[in-house]
């Protein structure tokens, strides 16, 4: 069973993937203007311009100047993963205090925590490296992604639960949205 208490995706990564998906869905021979991408995905234009520049520097997108200019993917959409986009704007998929998980060491009762961080990174990779912009823009996600998303437990957001924990809610046959005020007070 997967615990979904904390899932953090930066606004920058979210916007970058959405912008790249717009480019993946477009005709690759016709560059899209930043304004069109911003409008289609409701992304602030100044923020989007910064993101597109970072994606360009990372080789994910290319730009064309002039009246017919704009942005297009630098490679075929099926060869660009969501992980590529996130790394271009945010750096490594998983880090611990700004460092790679394999560079962490812990003592005592937390000695095996490095293995947990490595496993978290591997789980992120399983989804993000195997999902291409082409798959995302065509709504043809890999089977293991749709299977995970199809699990009702995956949709539960359990962060900062007060009162009975998740196990107590499940035992009582309730979901997080079905808690009563009495439950929350206990």
Residue with more model confidence, 164 or 54: 54
62: β partners? 72
- Cα–Cα distance, 109 to 90 (Å, whole number): 31
Q: For residue range 99-148, list pLDDT tens digits in order.
A: 888 889 999 999 999 999 999 999 999 999 999 999 999 999 999 999 98
Per-residue model confidence (pLDDT) at position 161: 52
The pLDDT score that the predictor gives to residue 3 is 39
Predicted TM-score (pTM) of this structure = 0.77
Using only the alpha carbons of the chain, give its radius of gyration. Answer: 20
Residue scoring higher pLDDT (126 or 3): 126
Domain ranges of the chain: 11-155, 158-186
pLDDT in tens, 68-92: 899 999 999 999 999 999 999 999 8
**What CA–CA distance (Å, rounded) separates 66 from 166?**
56
Q: Which three-class secondary structure string do you get for the chain?
A: CCCCCCCCCCHHHHHHHHHHHHHHHCCCCCCECHHHHHHHHCCCHHHHHHHHHHHHHCCCEEEECCCCCEEEECCCHHHCEHHHHHHHHHCCCCCECCECHHHCCCCHHHCCHHHHHHHHHHHHHHHHCCCEHHHHHCCCCCHHHHHHHHCHHHHCCCCCCCCCCHHHHHHCCCCHHHCCHHHHHC
Average confidence (pLDDT) over 23-51: 96
- Asked if 17 contacts 81 with a C-beta cutoff of 8 angstroms, the reply is no
- For residues 172 and 6, the model is more confident at 172
Q: Which CATH architecture has domain 11-155?
A: Orthogonal Bundle (1.10)
Q: To the nearest whole percent, how much of the chain has pLDDT over 70?
A: 81
Split at pLDDT 50, 70, 90, the class of 173 is low
Listed in sequence order, the residues at least 6 apart from 51 whose beta carbon sits closer than 8 Å to its beta carbon are 12, 15, 16, 19, 43, 89
- Please indicate whether residue 95 or residue 56 has the higher confidence score (pLDDT): 56
């Amino acid at each position: 069973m997967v615990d979904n208490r904390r899932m953090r995706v930066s606004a920058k990564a979210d916007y970058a993937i959405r912008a790249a998906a717009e480019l993946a869905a477009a005709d690759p021979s016709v560059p899209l203007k930043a304004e069109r991408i911003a409008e289609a995905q409701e992304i602030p234009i100044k923020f989007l311009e910064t993101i597109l520049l970072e994606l360009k520097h990372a080789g994910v997108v290319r730009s064309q100047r002039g009246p017919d200019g704009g942005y297009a993917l630098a490679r075929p959409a099926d060869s660009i993963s969501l992980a590529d986009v996130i790394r271009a704007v945010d750096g490594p998929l998983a880090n611990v205090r700004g460092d790679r998980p394999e560079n962490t060491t812990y003592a005592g009762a937390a000695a095996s925590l490095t293995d947990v961080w490595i496993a978290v990174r591997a789980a992120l990779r399983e989804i993000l490296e195997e999902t291409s912009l082409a798959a995302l823009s065509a709504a043809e996600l890999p089977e293991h992604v749709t299977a995970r998303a199809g699990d009702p437990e995956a949709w539960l957001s359990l962060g900062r639960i007060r009162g009975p924990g998740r196990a107590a809610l499940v035992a009582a046959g309730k979901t997080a949205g079905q808690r009563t005020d009495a439950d929350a007070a206990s």
